[in-house]
Homo-oligomer: A and B are copies of this chain.
C-alpha cells in the first residue's frame, strides 16, 4: 500500500522529482485509492504534476462525480489533455452523472470525432452492452495487406485501449471479422486481412443486457467483445476488465437478493445507514406481514394447543428446519439458473431430484426429531407427530423451493426474489398447517 503521509509530505514540499519517483512505484489503481483521501488542493496538485496519460489512468478508477470535481478545478487546457486520454466509456459515464450544462462545457473540450463517439455511447441505457463499450479500438479494412495494417496500427495504436485485436470492418463500418495482433505478426507482409481472419466473429448488440454479454464472454473465453448497432455497424468493444466488474456486480446482487434485501449498488461503506434501511425495510415488512399469517394459524388451533401445550415446544424447530431446507434448495437453484446450468424446461428433472433429496434428508431429520421429542419427555404420540411432520415439512419445503425460482425465471422475473427469508416465511405458515393437521389426526383432537 502507498504511504499516504509520505505522499502528502512530498506534495507539501513541492519536490517534483522525488514525487515522480515515488509515484512511479505504484499502479494507477493504488494511486486512485490514495487520491480519494487527499484534499482537493492536493488532488489538483498531483494531477498537474503527473503526465496527462497517468492522470487519465488514475481518473478512470475514481467515481464519476469526483472525476468531474477534479476536472472542473483544473485549467481548461489541463482538463482537455486529461479528458482526451481517458477512455470513451468512462467519459460517457461521467457525462451522464453530471448536470447537462456541465457536460456540454466538457464535451466542447473534446475533438469533434471523439465527442461524437462519446455522444453515441451516452445514448445507451445503463447496464447494457453499449454503455460498457470503449471506442478506442483499432479497425481495418478486409482488403488491406498486413503491411498496410501494420502502418495503420503504428499511426493510431498509441491511443487504443484494445490492443490484442484488430477489427475488420466493411465500407459502411459494419463488423466483418476480427484478427489477433499475434496473427498479424506471424503473417507475410503481402497477405490480405481477409485471408487470415478468424471466421465467425462473436459480437453483441448494443442493447443486450450487460450480464448476458458477460456470460457470452466467459462461455467462449474471449478477452474483448465487439458491440454492434443496426446493420451490424461496429460501435465499440467491451474489454474483459469491464465485464469482470459486471460478473462481480451480478454475484453481489444475487447474494443480497438471496439474503432477502434489495441489492446495494455501492460499496458497503459508501452506503448510508438510511439507504441500507430503505433497501432492507421493504422486504422485511412484506415478509413480516406474510409471517403474521402464522399468528392466524396458531390462533385457529388455539384449542388444540391448550390441550397439548407440548406441541408448542416443537413449533420453532419444525418450521426452522423447513426454512433451512428451503434456503439450501433455493440458493442452489438460483445460482444454477444464473450460471445457465438449469432452465425452465428442466422443471420436472429438478423436481424429481430435489424431492428425492428431500426424502433422504427428511428421513434423517425425522429420526432425530423423534429422539429429541422422547428426550424432552413428551408423550410418544406427540413424538410421532413431530417425526412425521418433520418428514413432510422437509419434502414440502424442497418442492416449493425447487419450483418457485424456475417459474419466476420463466416469467422473466428475477429468480433471486425467492430469497432464503422468502422461502422461510412461506414454509413457516404452511408448515404450521401441516403440523396441526397431522396432530389433530394422530392425537384424535
Residues of A that sit less than 8 Å from B by CB: 24-27, 29, 150, 153-154, 157-158, 160, 163-164, 180-182, 185-186, 199-200, 202, 217-223, 239-241, 244-245, 247-248, 251-252, 254-256, 258-261, 264, 267-269, 273-274, 276-277, 280-281, 283-285, 287-289, 291-292, 294-296, 298-299, 302, 305-306, 309, 312-317, 319-321, 323-325, 327-336, 339, 341-342, 346, 349-350, 353, 356-357, 360-361, 364-365, 368-369, 372, 376, 419-421, 424-425, 428-429, 432
Q: Pick from B164, B202, B313, B356: contact of A298, CB below 8 A.
A: B313
Q: How distant is the Cα of A317 from the Cα of B284 in the complex, in angstroms?
A: 12
Q: Which residues of B contact A291 (CB under 8 A)?
A: 316-317, 320-321
Find the B residue at minimum CB distance from A421.
Answer: B324
9 other A-B residue contacts (CB within 8 Å) besides A181-B181, A268-B333: A164-B181, A255-B334, A267-B341, A268-B336, A276-B353, A287-B324, A288-B365, A288-B369, A323-B424
Q: How distant is the Cα of A344 from the Cα of B92 in the complex, in angstroms?
A: 36
Q: Given that A153-B182, A361-B281 are known contacts, is A331 also in contact with B288, CB under 8 Å in the complex?
A: no
Contact B181 A332 (CB under 8 A): no
Q: How distant is the Cα of A316 from the Cα of B200 in the complex, in angstroms?
A: 58
Contact B200 A182 (CB under 8 A): no
Shortest Cβ distance from residue A41 to the other chain B in the assembled complex, whole angstroms: 27
With most chain B CB atoms within 10 A of its CB, the pick from A186, A283, A357, A372 is: A357
With most chain B CB atoms within 10 A of its CB, the pick from A185, A314, A346 is: A185
Contact B163 A181 (CB under 8 A): yes
Contact A199 B24 (CB under 8 A): yes
Contact A328 B260 (CB under 8 A): yes
Find the B residue at minimum CB distance from A373.
Answer: B295
Q: Which residues of B contact A258 (CB under 8 A)?
A: 255, 258-259, 331, 420
Find the B residue at minimum CB distance from A272.
Answer: B353
Find the B residue at minimum CB distance from A275.
Answer: B357
Q: Pick from B264, B298, B357, B368: contact of A280, CB below 8 A.
A: B357
Contact B289 A368 (CB under 8 A): yes
Q: How distant is the Cα of A408 from the Cα of B154 in the complex, in angstroms?
A: 53
Contact B328 A284 (CB under 8 A): yes
Q: Which residues of B contact A289 (CB under 8 A)?
A: 368
Find the B residue at minimum CB distance from A377.
Answer: B299
Shortest Cβ distance from residue A437 to the other chain B in the assembled complex, whole angstroms: 16
Contact B27 A331 (CB under 8 A): no
Q: How distant is the Cα of A267 from the Cα of B350 in the complex, in angstroms?
A: 13
Contact A327 B421 (CB under 8 A): yes
Shortest Cβ distance from residue A406 to the other chain B in the assembled complex, whole angstroms: 12
Find the B residue at minimum CB distance from A218.
Answer: B244
Contact B185 A150 (CB under 8 A): yes
Contact B261 A219 (CB under 8 A): no
Shortest Cβ distance from residue A271 to the other chain B in the assembled complex, whole angstroms: 9
Q: How distant is the Cα of A364 from the Cα of B248 in the complex, in angstroms?
A: 32
Shortest Cβ distance from residue A219 to the other chain B in the assembled complex, whole angstroms: 6
Q: How distant is the Cα of A247 from the Cα of B154 in the complex, in angstroms?
A: 36
Contact A200 B27 (CB under 8 A): yes
Can you give 9 A-B contacts (C-beta < 8 A)? A185-B185, A240-B244, A256-B332, A280-B357, A288-B324, A291-B317, A298-B313, A320-B425, A320-B428
Shortest Cβ distance from residue A305 to the other chain B in the assembled complex, whole angstroms: 6
Contact B421 A252 (CB under 8 A): no
Q: How distant is the Cα of A289 from the Cα of B342 in the complex, in angstroms?
A: 33
Q: Which residues of B contact A26 (CB under 8 A)?
A: 200
Q: Given that A29-B221, A256-B335, A334-B255 are known contacts, is A294 also in contact with B320, CB under 8 Å in the complex?
A: yes
Contact A255 B254 (CB under 8 A): yes
Q: Which residues of B contact A27 (CB under 8 A)?
A: 200, 202, 220
Contact A421 B255 (CB under 8 A): no
Q: How distant is the Cα of A333 from the Cα of B276 in the complex, in angstroms?
A: 12
Q: Which residues of B contact A185 (CB under 8 A)?
A: 150, 153-154, 157, 181, 185
Shortest Cβ distance from residue A324 to the other chain B in the assembled complex, whole angstroms: 4
Shortest Cβ distance from residue A60 to the other chain B in the assembled complex, whole angstroms: 9
Find the B residue at minimum CB distance from A250.
Answer: B251
Q: How distant is the Cα of A235 from the Cα of B93 in the complex, in angstroms?
A: 40
